[in-house]
Every structure is written in C-alpha cells, then in structure tokens.
Structure 1
Amino acid sequence: MNGEAHHEPRDEMWEQVRRIRTWLDANTGGQTETERELLRVLKIGEEFGEVAEALHGAHNANPRKGASHTRADVSKELVDVAVTTLIALDTIDPEARKAFDARLQHLVDRVAPPSGEPA
C-alpha cells in the first residue's frame, strides 16, 4: 500500500461530511449554536422539496411542464438530502458517526436480526 493509510469508504464519507460542516461553520457568521442547528435541520426539508419536484418532473406529472427532470436528477437530489442530513447530525451530535452506526444497526436488527434469532 506504498505507505499510505487505508481508509474505508465510510471513513472517507464522514471526513467529507466534516469538511463541508467545517466550511459551513466558517462561512455562516452570526448564528448562535441553536440557530445553526435549526437552520441545518430545516435545510433537510428544503432538499426534500427538491427531491419531490424532481420526482414529479421525472414522472411527467405536471402537464404544463412536461418531463422536466430525469431519474438521474432524482438520484442527485436524494444524495443532497442524505448529505444534508449527515451534516445536520454532525452539527448536533459530536459523536454523529457512532450515533448513526448505532441507529442503523438497530434498524437492521429490527427487520433482519442476526441469524438464529427470531424477528
């Protein structure tokens, strides 16, 4: 591995989330910690609206606009929702990655418990 540290894709994802959050923190002056948390959670709603608009357009649901979006647009907007959510989580919880991993495991175990255990 030529001396470079090996990073799991998940590690890299969290590093990138942290880079974006750090940039946002440095470039959104004048907000209190509470305002920053509120605005970042509200941003998830804004991004969700963009997914809804893209999905609506991809299904040609508005005859006035026609097919205004593609499935690729929907996919892009879903990623924006996911990243925005992770940034909000990282803003609110200093142990965001642990909180995410624990909750994800809980959700997986609820629908697909480890083999040999009843659902």
Structure 2
Amino acid sequence: MSEHTSPAPAAPDLWATVDALCAWLDTHRPVESREGLLLRVLKLNEEVGEVAEAVIGATGQNPRKGATHTWDDVQAELCDVVITALVALRTLTPEAREVFTGHLERVRQRSLASVRP
C-alpha cells in the first residue's frame, strides 16, 4: 500500500447486519404473523423482477425505451436480491447463519467435488 492510499473500511459483519435489518423490518411491519412472513419471502419476486428490468435496460432490449440502466445497476439489483433472501431466511429461523453455511457447504461439495486444482 502506498503512503497516499488509505486502507479500505472494515466491512460490516454480514450476519449482524442481516439481524439488524430483520429487527428494523420487524418494527415497521404493517402485516403481522404468518402473512407478514409470507410477504417478506415474496419480496424476493419483486427484487428478481428488478434484476430483469435492469438487464433489459442495460442491453437496450426494449426498443421503445432504449438503454435505461447500466451493468452497475444490475450489480446493485443482484445485491438487493441477496440481501432480501438473507433477511427472509433470517425471518424464518434465528439459525439463518448455520442453515445458510450448511447449505452452501452441501452445494460446494455437490458442485465442486470433481474439480481438481
């Protein structure tokens, strides 16, 4: 690192942030109980639709609108999908970290088991 560059700021702890977002949403939830939980999970559809809209806009696939988004917009929308999914998982279980880590490990083993370095 040169003397003119500053170190990158420390990244917030992913799961602490997910917990905080979940708690914040819980205090502002207009619909309670199981219906509120289902709506939080359904929020994923909205976010995935925004990814599709951004891809269509970045590629100019709508001739009436032309290019309306950038690939940075697509990246941001994908991040929103990930955040929304993690918050939905945390809403379903307080053990979201363990559930996700275990599932990721199973996917890794299944997908990368035959890959040799």
Q: Does 1:102 align with 2:102?
A: yes
- 1:4-83 matches, within 5 Å, as 12-32=13-33, 34-83=34-83
**AA in 2 matched with 1:98:** E
The number of aligned residues is: 107
Select between 106-115 and 67-76 the one with higher mean Cα deviation: 106-115
TM-superposed CA distance for 1:22, in Å, is: 0.2
Q: Deviations over 1:35-90 (max 9, x none)?
A: 12101110000000000000000010001000000000000000000000000000
Q: Tell me the SS of whatever aligns to 1:85.
A: helix
TM-superposed CA distance for 1:115, in Å, is: 7.8
Q: Which structure 1 residue ranges, 4+ long, deviate > 3 Å from structure 2?
A: none
Two-structure CA RMSD over aligned residues (Å): 2.0
Gap regions ≥5 residues in structure 2: 1-9
Q: Tell me the SS of whatever aligns to 1:65.
A: coil
Over the matched positions of the two proteins, sequence identity in percent amounts to 45
Which residue in 2 is equivalent to 1:84?
A: 84
Question: Normalising by structure 2, what TM-score?
Answer: 0.85
TM-superposed CA distance for 1:31, in Å, is: 1.1
